[in-house]
Structure 1
Amino acid sequence: MIILGLDPSLSSTGWGVIVCEGARISHIANGQITTRAAAPMAERLAALYTGLAEVIAQHAPARAAAEEIFVNKNPQSTLKLAQARGAVLAASGAAGLTVNEHAARLVKKAVTGTGAAEKAQVAAMVKVLLPGIAIAGSDAADALAVAIADAHLSPRS
C-alpha cells in the first residue's frame, strides 16, 4: 500500500510517500511545496493545492495521513495553519483519498518512542527507518514520519 504523509504549513508543506508491505516500509519520494510569503493568501493556497495534486497524480497513493491541527499561542498562526491544512485536505479529497489524522505527539511516539521528541530526533529516526534516503528538508522529514506512523497505527485497507 502506498501512503502519502503530509505536514501542512502555509510556507512549506512537507510530503513523503512510502510503500507498506506487511510490516516492511520503503521510501518512494519526499519533498516540500513552498509558497511565497509576499503572495496573496488565495495564491498561496492554490499553490499548495496544485502542488499536492501533482504529487498525488505522480505517486498514486492509496491513502493519505496528516498531522492533526494544534493550537499555537498566536491565533493568526493557527488560522494560517488551518487554511493551509484545508488546501491540503481538499487536494487529497478531490483525488478520492481517505485522510487519516494523527496527533503530533502520537506521530513522534510511533517513530521515536517518545511523544516529546525534537524535530532533529524525528528526522534522525526517519533516516534509520528508511536507510539511504535523501530528505528534502525538515518538513519532508516530518511528513515521512506521519506516513510511517500511519503505516503502524492505521488498519491496512
Structure 2
Amino acid sequence: MVLALDVSMSSTGWAVINRNKEILKYGKIVTKKDKFDTEDERMCYICNTIQELITTYNIQIVLVEDQFTSRNSKTILSLRKLLGAIMRTVKLNNIEIEYMYPASIRKYIMNSGKAKKEEVAEYVRENIIDIGKYIDRTCKAKTSDIYDAISLGIAYLNKVGDAK
C-alpha cells in the first residue's frame, strides 16, 4: 500500500494506491493560512492528517515529489521545512519514504519526461481514474493536487514493476 503526496502548504494532494494500481482513496489536506496562528501549526495539521492516513490504510511506503520551484525563497524554505516534518512523521512509523522528480514521474507514465502536467492528468483521467476536470487554479474545485499525487503513485508502481 502506497501513500503518494503532492506536498503543498495550502493544499496537499494525496492518494492511497495498492500494488495493483487501484486508487483506493484520494483527497486534499487543505490548510487556509487564516485558520492557523502559525505556519508550524499548519505543518502539524498536515503531518497529523498524514499520520491518520498511514494508520488507517496500513501504508508501507510514502511517495513525495522531489522538486519545489518558486521565485519566492520564503515559499521554498516553508516547503522544505514541511518536507522535513513529513519525513519525520513517516520515519517515526518505520516506513520508507521515496522521492521522485517530476520528469521521472512523466517518464514512467507518458514515456516522455517532457510531457506537460495537464497531459499526464488527462492520461490518468482517461486510463486510471476520473476525478473530474483538471483544474490548477486555487479554488474549492481544484483537482491538480490530487491528479499529481495519483500520477506520482502510478509512476512509482510502474517504475517498481519495470525493475522486476
Q: So what's the TM-score if we normalise by structure 2?
A: 0.82
Q: Which deviations, in whole Å up to 9, do the C-alpha atoms of 1:88-120 show, x marking residues without a partner?
A: 222222222101111111112212232233332
Q: What is residue 84 of structure 1 aligned with on the other side?
A: 82
Which structure 2 segments of 5+ residues have no match?
A: 133-141
Where 2:115 maps in the other structure, the secondary structure is coil
Q: What is residue 13 of structure 1 aligned with on the other side?
A: 12
Which structure 1 segments of 5+ residues have no match?
A: none
The size of the alignment, in residue pairs, is: 152
* 1:71 shift after superposition: 4.0
Listed as ranges, the matches of 1:50-129 within 5 Å are: 50-129=48-127
Instruction: Choose which of 139, 156, 162 in structure 2 pairs with 1:150.
Output: 156
Q: So what's the TM-score if we normalise by structure 1?
A: 0.85
Q: What is residue 138 of structure 2 aligned with on the other side?
A: none
| C-alpha separation in 2, matches of 1:89 and 1:125 | 29
AA at the equivalent of 2:47: Y
RMSD of Structure 2 on Structure 1 (CA): 2.1
| C-alpha separation in 1, matches of 2:12 and 2:88 | 14
Q: Is the 8 A contact 1:71 1:78 kept in 2?
A: yes
Where 2:33 maps in the other structure, the secondary structure is coil
AA at the equivalent of 1:102: M
Provide runs of 4+ in structure 1 moved above 3 Å.
Answer: 154-157
* 1:129 shift after superposition: 3.4
Task: Tell me which of the two structures has the higher relative contact order, counting C-alpha pairs closer than 8 angstroms and 6 or more residues apart.
Answer: 1
More strand by percentage: 1
AA at the equivalent of 2:83: R
| Identical pairs, percent | 25
| C-alpha separation in 2, matches of 1:130 and 1:57 | 25
Q: What is residue 135 of structure 2 aligned with on the other side?
A: none
